[in-house]
């Protein structure tokens, strides 16, 4: 269709689609789904070939969070039965990271629950970063510690951190519906602090919280404006005991359309399939590799993921290869911050409105049987999934 040809051409030129074009991708029918995947796949392969970057999460501090984010199993007052523990010691975190690195991961994501780190917390994480870097040559380390205060991003960078993650999660217009204890502007400020400190900015979204197509497009365009290097796309895990436990709004087809839209809007950025892929993509996970060039290996923060061995088999069976530490993820023009000049407005692109009729709404079955609370790895005596 003309829409997809236009989006491929724009993606190869790093030209921003119009809002109507992005919305039209989300509105395509299931009959057109393979065409959408094939088109977005051309853009993905142009910038990233057939490489798949593996990332591994280490939950440094689980639960005990004072924030009220509606989607989160670690939120204030949540009764979700998750693991709860305070800070892992640097050697414990390094041991946990080693399992993921042995499985092929090249980036370790160090995550801690809470509103944001104290200066003492930054010292703790800095020691952990140094330990992991000393014991694993070539590893990338991304920190995810919540809202940053002035100077903290610089201290993490000085300790050897390569990236900082802080997701926008949803559109500015609806952010107040999911969180009351901090604002959308707070999150934007932290992403900017990380970027200004020379850290690779990592920020993404959560789909499936009851948002509209317009919300999804808004948040992805906001991430484009922030010039983030990587975009984790999470699909809501509706934990029992959270306000969003009844939100089962996603089908595998819907997830693929969302990933395709993100790829067209962020053609040369690292697009990562994050939490919830096993839950919502299910047997269509291999198709998603044609859209995203990055995934998490093994388990997530508080839930279990697909077995690491199965992830590696899936990548190989789909005709992709695991990215090595010797290979650089981002295209040359994105390295060291900045993506070069891009078309930044609908008017400059000069495209026609090509919106398609909205796809017929589907009500997916709630798959509560697929939500498994993590009981292994960091914070336990049980071997991790990697």
Domain ranges of the chain: 13-326
pLDDT tens profile 290-313: 999 999 999 999 999 999 999 999
DSSP 3-state of 359: coil
Q: Tell me if 323 sits within 8 A of 329, measured CB to CB.
A: yes
- Which pLDDT belongs to residue 92? 96
The 3-class secondary structure across 292-355, one letter per residue, is CCEEECCCCCCECCCCHHHHHHHHHHCCCEECCCCCCCCCHHHCCCCCCCCECCHHHHCCCCCC
Tokens in use for 184? 């959308």
Tokens (6 digits) for 223: 């991430």
Reading the block at residue 386, the tokens are 């990697």
Output the pLDDT for position 371. 82
Pairwise CA distance, residues 252 & 282, whole Å: 7
CA distance 274 to 267: 18
Global model pTM greater than 0.85: yes
Provide the CATH number for the domain formed by 13-326 in this structure: 3.20.20.70
Q: Is 144 a catalytic residue?
A: no
The pLDDT of residue 336: 67
pLDDT at residue 5, as a whole number: 98
CB 68 within 8 A of CB 180: yes
pLDDT digits (tens, 9 = 90+) for 44-66: 999 999 999 999 999 999 998 99
Q: Is 72 annotated as a binding residue?
A: yes
Which segment of 214-218, 289-293, 313-317, 361-365 scores lowest on mean pLDDT? 361-365
CB atoms within 10 A of CB 266: 26
Q: Is 65 annotated as a binding residue?
A: yes
pLDDT one-digit tens code per residue, 137-152? 899 999 999 999 999 9
Instruction: Find the catalytic residue in 14, 72, 263, 266.
Output: 72
Whether residue 179 is predicted with pLDDT greater than 80 in this model: the reply is: yes
- From 44, 75, 107, 109, the catalytic residue: 109
Contacting residues for 312 by C-beta, under 8 A, at least 6 apart: 103, 104, 322
Q: Alpha helix (H) ranges present in 197-238?
A: 213-226
pLDDT of residue 39: 98
- Of 144, 202, 255, 339, which is the active-site residue? 202
Per DSSP, 232 falls in state: E
Out of 14, 69, 75, 255, which one is annotated catalytic?
Answer: 69
Rounded-to-integer distance, Cα 110 and Cα 353, Å: 42
44, 65, 254, 334: which is the annotated catalytic residue?
Answer: 65
To the question of whether residue 144 is assigned a binding role by annotation, the answer is no
Listed residue (301, 143, 294) closest to 231, CA to CA: 294
Q: Distance between CA 89 and CA 271 in Å, rounded?
A: 31
- Quote the CA–CA distance of 128 and 144 in Å, as a whole number: 13
The question of whether 75 is a catalytic residue gets the answer no
Average pLDDT, the chain: 92
44 annotated as ligand-binding? no
CA separation for the pair 381, 52 (Å, rounded): 30
Q: Whole-angstrom Cα distance, residue 239 to residue 224? A: 30
Which residue carries 């900017």 as its tokens? Answer: 192
What does the pLDDT average to over 20-25? Answer: 98
Catalytic site residue 65? yes
Rounded CA separation 357/184 (Å): 31
Give yes or no for residue 216 having a pLDDT over 80: yes
Predicted confidence at residue 347, as pLDDT, reads 31
Angle at 333 between CA 198 and CA 26, to 5 degrees: 95
Question: Alpha helices, DSSP H only, in the chain?
Answer: 2-12, 19-26, 33-48, 90-102, 119-135, 152-159, 175-178, 184-196, 213-226, 252-265, 277-280, 285-288, 308-317, 346-349
Q: What's the N-to-C CA distance of the chain in angstroms? A: 41
CA-nearest of 276, 246, 244, 247 to 259 is 276
Q: Which of 14, 75, 107, 142 is catalytic?
A: 142
**Is 375 marked as binding a ligand?**
no
Largest interatomic CA distance in the chain: 58
Length, in residues, of the chain = 386
Of 163, 166, 244, whose CA–CA distance to 207 is shortest? Answer: 244
DSSP label at residue 110: E
**How far apart are the C-alpha atoms of 58 and 132, rounded to whole Å?**
11
Over residues 216-230, mean pLDDT: 98
Marked catalytic residue, from 272, 277, 334, 374 = 272
What pLDDT does residue 116 have?
98
Give Cα 129 to chain centroid, integer Å: 21
């Amino acid at each position: 269709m003309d829409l997809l040809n236009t989006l491929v051409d724009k993606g190869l030129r790093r030209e921003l689609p119009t809002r109507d074009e992005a919305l039209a991708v989300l509105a395509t029918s299931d009959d057109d789904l393979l065409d959408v995947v094939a088109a977005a796949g051309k853009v993905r392969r142009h910038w990233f070939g057939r490489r798949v970057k593996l990332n591994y999460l280490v939950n440094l501090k689980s639960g005990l969070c004072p924030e009220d984010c509606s989607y989160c199993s670690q939120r204030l007052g949540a009764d979700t039965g998750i693991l709860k523990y305070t800070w892992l010691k640097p050697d414990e975190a390094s041991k946990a990271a080693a399992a993921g690195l042995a499985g092929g991961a090249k980036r370790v994501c160090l995550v801690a629950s809470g509103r944001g780190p104290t200066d003492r917390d930054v010292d703790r994480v800095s020691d952990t970063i140094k330990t992991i870097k000393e014991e694993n040559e070539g590893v990338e380390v991304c920190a995810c510690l919540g809202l940053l205060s002035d100077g903290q991003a610089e201290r993490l960078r000085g300790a050897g951190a390569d990236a900082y993650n802080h997701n926008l999660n949803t559109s500015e217009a609806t952010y107040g519906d999911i969180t009351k204890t901090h604002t959308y502007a707070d999150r934007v400020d932290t992403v900017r602090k990380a970027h200004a400190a020379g850290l690779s900015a990592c920020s993404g979204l959560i789909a499936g919280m009851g948002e509209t197509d317009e919300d999804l497009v808004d948040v992805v365009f906001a991430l484009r404006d922030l010039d983030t290097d990587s975009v984790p796309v999470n699909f809501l895990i509706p934990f029992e005991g959270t306000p969003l436990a009844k939100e089962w709004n996603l089908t595998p087809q819907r997830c693929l359309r969302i990933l395709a839209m993100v790829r067209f809007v962020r053609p040369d950025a690292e697009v990562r399939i994050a939490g919830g892929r096993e839950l919502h993509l299910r047997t269509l996970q291999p198709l998603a590799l044609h859209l995203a060039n990055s995934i998490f290996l093994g388990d997530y923060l508080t839930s279990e993921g697909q077995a690491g061995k199965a992830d590696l088999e899936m990548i190989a069976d789909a005709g992709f290869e695991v990215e090595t530490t010797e290979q650089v993820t981002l295209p040359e023009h994105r390295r060291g911050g900045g993506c070069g000049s891009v078309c930044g407005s609908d008017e400059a692109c000069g495209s026609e409105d090509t919106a398609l009729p909205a796809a017929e709404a589907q009500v997916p079955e709630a798959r509560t049987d697929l939500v498994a609370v993590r009981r292994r790895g960091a914070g336990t005596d049980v071997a991790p999934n990697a």
